[in-house]
Amino acid sequence: MNILRKKSAANLPFSETVIELFIRLCGLSSIIFVFGIFFFVFREGAGFLFNGLGLGQFLTSPEWYPTSLSNKRYGTFALILGTFSVTALAMCIAVPFGLGAAIFVSEFCSPKLRETFKIIIELLAAIPSVVWGFIGLTLMNQLIITVFNAPIGLTMLNGSIMLALMSVPIIVSIAEDALKAVPDSYREAAEALGATRWQVIYRVLLPAAKNGLLAAVLLGAARSIGETMAVLMATGHSVNIPSGPLSWIRTLTATIAAELGEVARGDEHYQVLFIIGVLLFTITFVVNLIADLVIKGIRQE
Amino acid sequence: MEKYGWAGYTIICILVVLACGYVITGCSPKDGESTAGEAAAQVIIKNKGSDTMVNLAQAWAEMYTGITSTASVEVSGGGSGTGVAALINGTVDIANCSRQIKPKELEQATQNTGKVPQEFIVGYDALAVYVHHDTPLNKITIPQLAEIYGEDGTITKWSDLGITHTNCPSDKIIRISRQSNSGTYFYFREALLGKTRDFELGSLDLHGSKDVVEVIGRTPCAIGYSGMGYATSHVKMLEVAIADDAPYYAPNLENVLAKTYPIARPLYMYSLGEPTGEVKAYLDWILSAEGQKIVEKLGFVPLANN
């Protein structure tokens, strides 16, 4: 034991340098990857972005005719609306359920039940998105037709339910961590003042954990915006300005996934799909930035 | 800090999708071993392309492996464009294509590989117009279809076609289509609308021939198009007439062979340069009576001279 320790102590300066260098590289790699990815995606689309594609038309026209023989039009307005509407509806479903489940797990559960619960939630998170898509395509499709008497069940609502189910595990686990991080002394103090359980949660825990809860919701939303396969299968994949939960829509991610496989490389259409990639990148960036600013604002209060 | 982790994760997910597409269009990945288990000494014929033809190509490959010991065939799908892209990169021996190769692609392939792709028509595919089996409609004309699918079309309700669709209370026709760069989409659009008019947006653009029939089978209000071979008991194939005053023809073998059914298209295979050796033997076999029998078995239409 002694000898071993001496040996490693003798090697310390060298191994220390190597390990430090390695860790430094790991830290830098994420920055390099993010910028590298952005650069390469941007480069594929840049030619057409600056030369031919009207950015105004790209963002505001709902006409998506990438393969028209007579009049090609690349308007993504309907796709952007599709992405946002399906995400918003998914959050309307997922946030109450996710936060509710998190409160239940952290405040009401017995330790044994909590362990079981967490395992099951992790299991929910482990289901691949294509399986969710399949459930949406078959089971949920039929259910929506029966319940809402809709002509077809492949709708925004269907996609939103799938997305909600996929983002609930994320929201639950992060929100639960945030609630757990609230010191017990807060709860004890509140109870000592005669607060009911509901008052403790509503007046003390939720305000105290709001940073973490907000992060949980935004991460859930980010998951929904980026999700591809499930929305491709469940939303009907139709270029449509959404008019309600039962209208069928198409998202930015699904468009890339469905069309990139068959375009000729370097084609205008190919470049436009990469510009959509840049757009998605920008959207996620803005969501994160807002989250950062909001959290900072809360901290300063 | 975890927040960045997840956001990054999301971005990476998106980019993996992009990267996959990149790989698929750019260069051919190692194809799945669909006809695995053969000895390594054999010549492996790589065959890739059209999703419409993938079942057919697979059936040929399996049958061929049974009758020859000198070659085996690896088949993968991905779409006509994917197959042609692989041909341009010289990574496949035969590309399957449900549309004719474009002049630009032909030029690229010649430039890239030094060989001129050779075209073989290996069968025909009739696109059937499908409706739910409860729909009280049996026939339709091409001009009617053009008004249903075309931009600013005038037919949007079942009652516009002169029928009362009791199982479709909204009366609205739900148009099922394909993603806008599939070979089937291209062919159907051109057959209906020519080269100057586009499809009206707002159709459900599904991702495979089979999905189209599947969804129509569950949706009384729907109309859609897909290969004749994909019919199930939940859907009905309509008889089609080329013009309002022309006779109607059902999508079946006789009508396609007689060229009276208006929406049928050839299925192509492309080899790099004049085929030689095992590739030639394989293509010859496909064009033989035996190979063409499989075409018929899978719901496609064999070549006329067999």
User: Which ipTM value was assigned to this complex?
Assistant: 0.77
Taking the CA of residue B20 and the nearest CA in chain A, the distance in Å comes to 8
| Residue B259 falls in which region: left (phi positive, over 0), alpha (psi -120 to 50) or beta | left
Instruction: Please give chain B's pLDDT, 306 residues, in tens.
Output: 344 455 555 555 555 555 554 544 444 444 444 444 444 467 889 999 888 888 899 999 999 988 888 888 999 887 788 888 889 888 899 999 988 888 888 888 898 888 899 999 999 888 999 999 999 999 999 999 999 999 999 999 999 999 998 888 888 999 999 887 777 888 899 999 988 899 999 899 988 888 899 889 988 889 999 988 888 999 999 999 999 899 999 998 888 888 889 999 889 999 988 998 889 999 999 999 999 999 988 888 888 764
Q: Is the Cα dihedral B169, A231, A211, A183 positive or negative?
A: positive
Count other C-beta atoms under 10 Å from residue A299's C-beta.
Answer: 8
Is A284 close to B21, i.e. CB distance below 8 A?
no
A178-187 burial, b at 16+ Cβ within 10 Å, e below that, comes to: bbeebeeeeb
Fold assignment, A78-300? MetI-like fold (1.10.3720)
Neighboring chain B residues of A153 at a CB cutoff of 8 Å: 218
pLDDT in tens, A267-297: 888 899 999 999 998 888 888 787 777 767 6
Rounded Cα distance between A233 and A163, Å, is 12
Partner A contacted by B247 (CB < 8 A): no
Nearest to B18 among A68, A258, A277 (CB): A277
Domain ranges in chain A are: 78-300
Contact residues, chain A, for B12 at CB < 8 Å: 33, 37
Q: What is the pLDDT of residues A12-53, one digit of tens each?
A: 688 888 999 999 999 999 999 989 988 998 888 888 888 777
Query: Three-state SS for B189?
Result: helix
B277 in A contact zone (CB under 8 Å): no
Nearest Cβ partner for B174 among A152, A222, A261 = A152
Q: Cα separation of B239 and A142, whole Å?
A: 29
Q: Any CB–CB contact under 8 A between B79 and chain A?
A: yes
- For residue A276, CA distances in Å to A77, B18, B82, B275 come to 11, 11, 21, 41
Instruction: For tokens 């013009």, name the residue.
Output: B243
Amino acid letter, B176 = I
pLDDT in tens, A38-95: 899 888 888 888 877 788 889 999 999 988 888 888 999 999 999 999 999 999 999 9
CB contact under 8 A, A262 and B79: yes
Q: Are the Cβ atoms of A65 and B218 closer than 8 angstroms? A: no
Distance CA B89, CA A97 (A): 50
